[in-house]
Amino acid sequence: MRITKRAATVALLTAATVALTGCSTAASTGGSADAADCAPSDGKVNLTFTSWIPGIEDVVDVWNKANPDIQVAVQTGPNGNGGTYANFFNQLEAGNAPDLGQIEYDALPNFRVQDGLMNLASCDGVMDAKSDFVDWTWGQVSFNEDDSVYAIPQDSGPMAMFYRADLFAANNIAIPTTWDEFATAAEQVRATGSYITNFSQSDINQFAGLVWQAGGTWFGNDGTDWNVDLTGDESIKVADYWQDLIDRDLVSTQPPWTTEWDNAYNTGAAWTWNSAAWGANSIASGAPDTAGKWAVAASPQWEAGDEASGNWGGSSTAVFTGSKHPYEAAQFALWLNSSSESLTMLNESANLYPAAKDGLDLPVLKEGVEFYGNQPIYDVFAKASGEVSSDFVWGPTMTQTYNDVSDGFKAAVSGNGTLAEALTTGQSATIKALQAQSIPVKE
Amino acid sequence: MSALTESPAVSRASKRARNAANPAPKGPKESPLARVGAMTVMLVFTLYFLIPIWWLFIAGTKSSGQFTSTNPLWFADFNLFANIGNLVAYRDGVFLKWMLNSALYAGAGALLATLFAGMAGYALAKYRFPGRELLFNIVLGGVLVPATALALPLFLIFSQVSLTNTFWAVFLPSLVSPFGVYLTRIFAAASVPDELIEAARLDGAGEVRTFFTVSVKLMFPALVTVFLFQFVAIWNNFFLPLIMLRDETLFPVTLGLYAWNSQVNQIPELRGYVLIGALLSIIPLIILFLLLQRFWRNGLGAGSVK
């Protein structure tokens, strides 16, 4: 753990990192970390912005043309966990981090405990923008604290169920609306020789989305200590549910994002996929032979009549500590993630599903989608977006947590152990990882 | 891509296999059974190395629709040229820019690295000066340090002098080849006779001229070997550019394809570009191996046979 060098950074310490850097000043007030000094700079400002969204240059060009005094240069790289996060940490260490960077929600806590993020709460217009964004996305960037905004929400991944409308109809199987019905439908689908869906053994994010929907959360922070709760009631409920389907051979367990996986959907061997808004394109390009046969419905619920959704993925635009122009950076981040011009371009070039409320009504998201039988599928996701709980919190060591749980899941689908045991292992490994980094954690 | 770097081993192995098939008259006799066994092992390993390349070639010829639905090891409709056209046109031809970058990093980098390694190896072999063995042992130690372990320290150093995210950040570290120094020293000691250098000096040639006109010719097989190895190493280098570069127009092809591949989940059409791009990116290496093989085989052999 690095000890902070400058008073400016000290002001940004989260309660957790105050304890971790050894300062023992009253840190119990939780959410009241002071906001960065955020005044406009004189003259022309040049900002750097790292993002891995293909085509982001074109969006930034639009900003640069309209704002000759705030010029943004785009830097790029692989996706966050593919190396860009590691680079951000290296750059923060070396003191040459960009002004702005794309960070997924699940990585924000990690950057926060490492003092990487600026609190933008005092920047003009940032607090006012709160109501412009879907509630839970604002919770992710503010850590549900007042007077804190560590990033501007960019995109989101509300979940719904993609399903083969033609196959359900031809076999007279009802579209499941609860998880109980889903299990029953799974038996009926299995009787036809196919699988109702594929359990993603290595994509823990999808599983997290299911726990999120069930009302669980994996982490908590009381202002001082982190609380790790991978084995909470909701998590175990979801794990046991899927374990049962796996044990009875009612779901397939191919590794996701592989050709076999695509092929299963392309040939009708798998009928549903509970996935995020951005998944629409994955199915369309992975299973081109099934065009017109798919539809989208709300995710099955735990209790009939509930209206809860999970979320899978999504990212934000953060301003790094060390940026000399937080004011201008914040203005750019707000424009990038809430102007309809920018959101339309981001949706076209990279299928980003907006975190801004207005973005959900973009004309392009209201149209029928040919691949889905001209169903206006994004209406389903827009509704789901409003049903995602704001309570779900990510931890500061998600990469490690994902790896540990995913190892356990892979073993479980091949018959060694269970999903619940994998969560237990992940729980203790995560606590160890936090302790190893001197991040205060409750056992 | 990584399979290619193994091909020296394959070629050496197949050469050995050929020698085994025509045993020298005085050599020990082999039983036919042992020969069949050896050939089987060779065949299995050859397939092991070639099948991924075959798969890549097949995959590159398919349209995205047929990619998942047809036999992965045999042709469907032949779309290779359409795929290449799409790749080259995608995002204003950024892929071509990456290929050019790789050619520049690897070509110029390997050329200069070979020159430096050749001069250093020659000096270590032919001149006596204090600390010579110490210097050589330090260089030898450098062979053992993986390049990836040096990437992060290099990043911090380059940050100090504001050289990160520049051409030089990738180019300068590629000029170092401890293995090249080692190989050229061994080779120079074995193949450049002291008498020849003496004769050149008597004829009035300076040391530099002696090196470039006399010694370089004798060391040529070793220099080609060093060039080839360094070229492949730079071409395949991935971690250093990953850490150093933010500007897409500076990326080598490995990093560019990796960046695309990391976005396949959200932009599935990139998968096709990654496949066809990977296929195109190994072609320069194959050409180089074929063009230079008679030189580098000699170079590698010279060290061991004597």
Sheet holding A226-228, edge to edge: A219-221, A226-228, A441-442
A75 contact residues in B (CB cutoff 8 A): 165, 246-247
The tokens of A98 are what? 């960009």
3-state secondary structure of B75: coil
Q: What is the pLDDT of residue A7?
A: 36
Q: What is the pLDDT of residues A78-121, one digit of tens each?
A: 999 999 999 999 999 999 999 999 999 999 999 999 999 999 99
For the residues A387-403, what does the mean pLDDT come to?
94
Query: Which among B7, B38, B41 is positioned nearest to B21, based on CA atoms?
Result: B38
Tell if the CB–CB gap between B246 and A257 is shorter than 8 Å.
Answer: no
Q: How far is CA A78 from the centre of its chain?
A: 17
The residue of chain B nearest to residue A79, with distances taken between CA atoms, is: B262
Handedness of CA A173, A174, A177, A180 (dihedral sign): negative
How sure is the predictor about A14, in pLDDT bands with cuts at 50, 70 and 90? Answer: very low
DSSP A227: E
Tell if the CB–CB gap between A351 and B246 is shorter than 8 Å.
Answer: no
A212-248: buried (b, 16+ CB within 10 Å) or exposed (e) per residue? bbbbbbbbebebebbbbbbbbebbbbbbebbbebbee
Interface of A with B (CB under 8 A): 48, 50, 52, 54-55, 75-79, 82-83, 86-87, 90-91, 93-96, 98, 257, 259, 262-263, 266-267, 278, 281-282, 284-289, 350-351
Q: What is the pLDDT of residue B13?
A: 47
Q: Tell me what the pLDDT averaged over chain A comes to.
A: 90
Tell if the CB–CB gap between B155 and A90 is shorter than 8 Å.
Answer: yes
Tell if the CB–CB gap between B68 and A281 is shorter than 8 Å.
Answer: no
Amino acid at A110: N
Output A23 or A116, whichever has higher pLDDT.
Answer: A116
Residue B127 distance to chain A (closest CA, Å): 42
How sure is the predictor about A17, in pLDDT bands with cuts at 50, 70 and 90? Answer: very low
Asked whether residue A161 carries a pLDDT value surpassing 50, the answer given is yes
Pairing of strands A159-164, A294-297: antiparallel
B72 contact residues in A (CB cutoff 8 A): 259
Pairs of residues, one from chain A and one from chain B, whose beta carbons lie less than 8 Å apart = 92
Tell if the CB–CB gap between B68 and A90 is shorter than 8 Å.
Answer: no
Q: What is the pLDDT of residues A26-74, one digit of tens each?
A: 333 333 344 557 889 999 999 999 999 988 999 999 999 999 999 999 9
Determine contact: B68 vs chain A, CB below 8 A.
yes
Radius of gyration of chain A (CA): 22
Which segments in chain B show pLDDT lower than 70?
1-28, 296-306
B160 contact residues in A (CB cutoff 8 A): 94
Rounded distance between C-alpha atoms, residue A210 and residue A275, angstroms: 10
Q: What is the pLDDT of residues A272-319, one digit of tens each?
A: 999 999 999 889 888 888 999 999 999 999 999 999 999 999 999 999
How sure is the predictor about A336, in pLDDT bands with cuts at 50, 70 and 90? Answer: very high
Q: What is the pLDDT of residue B295?
A: 77
The single residue listed with the structure tokens 């990585």 is: A107
Write the residue in B91, B255, B263 that is nearest to A52 by C-beta: B263
Q: What is the pLDDT of residue A286?
A: 85
Query: Which among A298, A264, A296 is positioned nearest to A281, based on CA atoms?
Result: A296
Asked whether residue A25 carries a pLDDT value surpassing 70, the answer given is no
Output A33 or A416, whichever has higher pLDDT.
Answer: A416
The predicted complex's ipTM stands at: 0.82
Tell if the CB–CB gap between A90 and B65 is shorter than 8 Å.
Answer: no
Q: What is the pLDDT of residue A23?
A: 36
State residue B206 phi and psi, 5-degree precision. -75, 170
Rounded distance between C-alpha atoms, residue A170 and residue A175, angstroms: 12
Rounded distance between C-alpha atoms, residue A359 and residue A314, angstroms: 14
Tell if the CB–CB gap between A54 and B258 is shorter than 8 Å.
Answer: no
Output B63 or A1, whichever has higher pLDDT.
Answer: B63
pLDDT above 90: percentage of residues in chain A: 82
Determine contact: B2 vs chain A, CB below 8 A.
no
Q: Give the C-alpha distances (Å, rounded to integers) separating A291 from A166, A276, A295, B2.
A: 11, 19, 10, 37
**Number of helices and strands (H, E) in chain B?**
17, 0
The residue of chain A nearest to residue B165, with distances taken between CA atoms, is: A75
Q: What is the pLDDT of residue B250?
A: 95
Q: Give the C-alpha distances (Å, rounded to integers) separating B18 from A18, A71, B15, B43.
A: 69, 64, 5, 13
Radius of gyration of chain B (CA): 23
For the residues A367-396, what does the mean pLDDT come to?
95
B270 contact residues in A (CB cutoff 8 A): 54
What percent of chain A is helix, strand and coil (3-state, nearest 5)?
45, 15, 40
